[in-house]
Structure 1
């Protein structure tokens, strides 16, 4: 059975778009052509259209976007050229060709159709506005414009553009489209407007949230201030630990030195009286160093009590245990509650804590400096005095002065001293 002209046209359009239409056409492709043809037939079925007019409409629907194979600009004119060449090859009459070309030119969106057939093909070409698949088809068109570098729309911009087109630029012309597709078009428009309203409300909410957040941020101390207090307090505590460690080293070293002196050197003073003063000097400086080390690390505990007036007047620093260790729990909780209600009081307390930590550190390091100086001078003077004593007694060898390391305990003691000093 011979194929009809519509069937031949459908086969020709399918092969043409398959072979020559770029893949970037996500919307204006054969799928769109089939949708237009289906919509044409839907309108024809419910309208007074002759068989000849139906043939013209179906052929025009198949050929109306073939011009995209030659470019986007003036694609309707390019489609007319392709349609004319194809229909002539198929032996179609001039009247049919002119009617098809006229219908193709009626698909220009910005112009009002002038004929009944023009109204039908125009409604079929825009039938997706009144279909459930409108959102899907619209998104394909947006991506096509983006991929072909025609124009890039954000989702919100494309939604606004669709609202503008559906509400102002587009209208259905045939009775069937107005009756059957217009209600769905109204639903699609309403859905877009609701989405816009929802997005607008969400944007307004986020804007208000950002405003309040910025306002709160402006009212609260800057992060740089908080970082300053955090770093300064941490550094003060580390420096305090270092000072305590240095004092403990001096205590250990002097304790070992004194134990060695008492165990070995003092027992030789009866037979070596000239060593008395060097030994006394050496021991005295070690004892002074130990006393200074103990003073440097000795804790100073304050009264541990405060009054409600002190809290109200912001005179007590609740961040230091020495100011509240004798208070009852309920009194301390009340004081903390009063303090946290006033951010100025909190930072005032941190400032006091930082200041008094600095005062304690100054005292510790000043005493440690004195202690190390005393220890250094003591070692030097002791060595000089031992040297003078030995020099004034030439018959005494240095081995006789120093304790003999012939016992296990003496060796261990000397090793401890050397290790600690190192």
Structure 2
């Protein structure tokens, strides 16, 4: 009765410690895990008909074996021994038994050798979840802990392989644990192996998709190129329309000015002859119209990007065999050979299209820059013409 009373006090003490001091981030090594370890340890000890005195040491060690997580994650067993020793001394527990409790707790440390049955029982109880159907859910909780406290991150395939290796490497030490958990452990190994294979299959499929060559066109890539070409063609047509508008407008203005100034018999021609100052706004308008129309004509002028090609440079990234400005510089045989290479080479196929888009954009950039100059000159010319005409009239 006295022994059971001490174990009950230990359980209450550990529960209070975990509630007050254990981090909520410990989603695996918490009170629930400790409670299950104590329960499994008791069941395994009963299977081995463990004497009451050893049962007491075992259960005390089971209750305190993870209390060290309150202060440390690595080497928490040492801290757990400190918590257990402090509690047991407070309750005047014999020192030799405290030493046994401490030794039993330290047996749960990974890689530690065991020397007594109670140590084997506690170790088996501590890992008993691997012989239960809930092992995979519990493993995910442990994975979270390791990411938080050990900064160890695993991909799904890495974690699956790690779990499979662990399940296959662990052996229960006691006969009771082997009888109790071996059947489910084997099922878990088979299930984990199936999970690992499935994840490997999915990973390889994703890698294969990532390695798929660009010569196997995807709808998204085709749509991108089609949309880009359409946009360039539309922008080029808009630029040409704007240039034609400026050419027509300025040509009309210059024709009218030249016609009236050149006809001295006309009323306007006579008026300009009698008032030479009016020639200033007319001259400004004529000069700016001429500059504007020249810029517009240059903008609308066809421009061909071409290179002086050599057969041994057909695979250059700057060469675009899909554009007549390039391929008309080489012999027919070299052009045919180059086109066959493009159709066979996934990189060359799209590289030529990308090069074509690049130089189309370069031509468009020049077109719109010249158009901007043309419109700006025309606008400035109109403003200066009006201002100078008003000044001339006002004099």
Shorter-chain TM-score tier: 0.5 to 0.7
Equivalent positions of 1:134-173 (< 5 A) are 134-168=135-169, 170-173=170-173
Q: Sort the Cα spacing of 1:107 and 1:241 in 2 relative to 1 into closer, same or farther, 3 A.
A: same
- Equivalent position of 1:184 in the other structure: 184
Q: Structure 1 stretches of 5 or more lacking a match?
A: 254-273, 279-340, 355-422
Are 2:77 and 2:109, in contact at CA under 8 Å, matched by a contact in 1?
Answer: yes
Measure, in 2, the Cα distance between the counterparts of 1:221 and 1:85.
69
Deviations 1:124-182 (A, max 9, x none): 011111112212222222212222245333333322222222112x2111222212212
1:420 corresponding residue in structure 2: none
Query: How far apart in 2 are the matches of 1:33 and 1:226?
Result: 64
SS in 1 for 2:45: helix
CA–CA separation in structure 2 for the residues paired with 1:10 and 1:126 = 20
Separation in 1 of the partners of 2:116 and 2:173?
11
User: 2:83 maps to what in 1?
Assistant: 82
Q: Which residue of 1 aligns with 2:230?
A: 230
Match of 2:393 in 1: none
Match of 1:28 in 2: 29
Shift of 1:225: 7.1
Partner of residue 121, structure 1: 122
Q: How many residues align?
A: 282
Larger CA Rg, structure 1 vs 2? 1
Post-superposition Cα deviations, 1:103-135, rounded to whole Å, max 9, x if no partner, equal 112212212322111111110011111112212
Equivalent runs, 1:200-279 vs 2, <5 Å:
200-216=200-216, 229-239=229-239, 241-242=241-242
- 1:56-135 maps to which residues of 2 (within 5 A)? 56-135=57-136
Relative to structure 1, the CA distance from residue 238 to residue 126 in structure 2 (aligned partners, 3 Å threshold; closer, same or farther) is same
| TM score, norm. by length of structure 2 | 0.57
2:225 and 2:19 mapped to 1: Cα distance? 67
Deviations 1:324-375 (A, max 9, x none): xxxxxxxxxxxxxxxxx9x9xxx9xx9xxx9xxxxxxxxxxxxxxxxxxxxx
SS at match of 1:214: coil
CA distance in structure 2 between the partners assigned to 1:52 and 1:180 by the alignment: 24
Give the direction of change, closer, same or farther, for the CA distance of 1:31–1:245 in structure 2 (3 Å limit).
Answer: same
What's the CA shift for 1:243?
7.1
Report the counterpart of residue 14 of structure 1 in structure 2. Answer: 15
Return 5+ residue gaps in structure 2 as ranges.
254-264, 270-342, 344-348, 361-395
Instruction: Give the Cα separation in 2 of the matches to 1:224 and 1:14.
Output: 62
Q: Matched residues in 2 for 1:228 and 1:12: separation? A: 71
